[in-house]
Structure 1
């Protein structure tokens, strides 16, 4: 597990409101994975409603609010596999 995964988990727990409706797995290229659900973010590699895959810079930008998740998806920097409804609710929560 990388330092970035720990950093991302802490940032997501600070940023996200409690009770996120759904589960999302963040697959960070070359770093590892973490999951966000109604209990918060944690280091985990289990399945989820939706999996988002990108590199560290893209996820860092999304979490920091510097990159719009929809724009990242449309430009091919962010791959999404699974429930698009959950992905859209997540993007709104991160805005």
Structure 2
């Protein structure tokens, strides 16, 4: 089993309803920029950027630099966490 601190960091990464929404959005539409995420969820750019940063730190979202912006997609861990969250509904 992973260390308790590492598990805590992962859980903190998705312990917000907006972050779970972002995970769901990236599952349906991978490779989105922060601007596209803010547009689809109708949230503030800085707020979305902070949520994505936290998801990335937790290893739930991967970032890829494209020509003009940064693209985001779920990692395997992110998909597993989203599957787990759906079992709680």
TM-score (norm 1): 0.29
Which one has a larger percent strand, Structure 1 or Structure 2? Answer: 1
Q: Which structure is richer in relative contact order (CA contacts within 8 A, separation 6 or more)? A: 2
TM-score (norm 2): 0.31
Which one has a larger percent helix, Structure 1 or Structure 2? Answer: 2
